[in-house]
């Protein structure tokens, strides 16, 4: 294992607590210029899957999967952020892996994301899996993953994806 990748193995991936809010706010500020996005990050509902990556007592990454109105027990993955100094060390990858495992354990059925297909395909996200969802901004970066096989099969309907993240990917 390379030294950079072994950092990800040393980090702890745990559920976020109220005490993490300042660190999560700082992380969001480092990743997004838009203040609406930063507020969306902090306003996580109680049943959201929200994890932080912690290394030597410092929060260096955060992921939020929040319930999204649409198909039964669906989540929207938004955002995923790692502090610039700790990027490209597989921290983001481990956050996604741990969050998906926890979501499955809690009987969530599917996850949607706006993201780079090259990044998210490694977890099984596919563009065509999201085809049934009608949202304001469709396109090749709109992806979905079935946590439970067949969760999105045959489903069509509108998906109320968090607006700050739709705005982020919408053409201006
Ligand atoms: C996107 C982000 C979370 C990735 O976290 P990370 O910990 O650096 O990523 P990892 O180390 O797990 O993954 C690195 C791999 O992903 C690739 N990668 C990183 N960012 C990528 C991107 N935007 N698009 C495609 N691939 C990307 C790297 O090339 C690397 O590939 P490899 O494993 O084949 O070497 C991080 O760059 C970040 O915080 N960016 C700012 C916020 C953001 O854009 N979030 C995503 C949208 S919500």
Q: Whose CA is nearest to atom 27 of ligand 1?
A: 119
pLDDT of residue 165: 74
Higher-pLDDT residue of 122, 5:
122
List the single range of 26-30, 56-60, 93-97, 146-150 with lowest mean pLDDT. Answer: 26-30
Per-residue pLDDT band for 161 (boundaries 50, 70, 90) equals: confident
pLDDT of residue 45: 86
pLDDT of residue 138: 76
CATH number of the structural domain spanning residue 160: 3.40.630.30
Q: What residues make up the domain containing 89?
A: 3-169
CA of 154 to the centre of ligand 1 (A): 31
Helices (H) and strands (E) in the chain, counts: 6, 8
Give the atom of ligand 1 at the shortest distance from the alpha carbon of 87.
8
In which residue are the tokens 């902090």 written?
42
Which residues is 50 bridged to in the sheet? 64
Number of domain units in the chain? 1
**pLDDT (mean) for 128-142:** 89
CA-CA distances (angstroms) from residue 55 to 14, 61, 67? 11, 9, 28
Question: Ligand 1: residues within 6 Å at CB?
Answer: 31, 78-82, 87-93, 115-116, 118-119
pLDDT at 5 over 70: no
Per-residue pLDDT band for 83 (boundaries 50, 70, 90) equals: very high
> In 3D, which of 167, 162, 161 has the Cα closest to residue 71?
161
CA of 119 to the centre of ligand 1 (A): 7
pLDDT of residue 170: 64
The model's pLDDT over 43-77, given as tens digits with 9 standing for 90+, comes to 788 899 999 999 999 999 999 999 999 999 999 99
pLDDT of residue 35: 65
């Amino acid at each position: 294992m390379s030294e950079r990748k072994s950092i990800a193995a040393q980090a702890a991936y745990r559920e976020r607590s109220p005490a993490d809010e300042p660190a999560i706010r700082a992380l969001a500020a480092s990743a997004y210029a838009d203040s609406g996005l930063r507020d969306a990050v902090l306003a996580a509902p109680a049943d959201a899957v929200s994890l932080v990556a912690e290394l030597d007592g410092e929060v260096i990454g955060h992921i939020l999967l929040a319930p999204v109105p649409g198909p039964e027990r669906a989540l929207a993955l938004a955002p995923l952020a790692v502090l610039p100094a700790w990027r490209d060390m597989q921290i983001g990858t481990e956050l996604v892996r741990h969050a998906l495992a926890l979501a499955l354990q809690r009987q969530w059925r599917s996850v949607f994301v706006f993201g780079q297909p090259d990044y998210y395909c490694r977890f099984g996200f596919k563009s065509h899996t999201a085809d049934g969802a009608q949202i304001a901004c469709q396109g090749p970066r709109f992806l979905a993953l079935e946590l439970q096989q067949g969760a999105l099969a045959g489903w069509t309907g509108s998906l109320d994806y968090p607006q700050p993240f739709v705005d982020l990917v919408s053409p201006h």
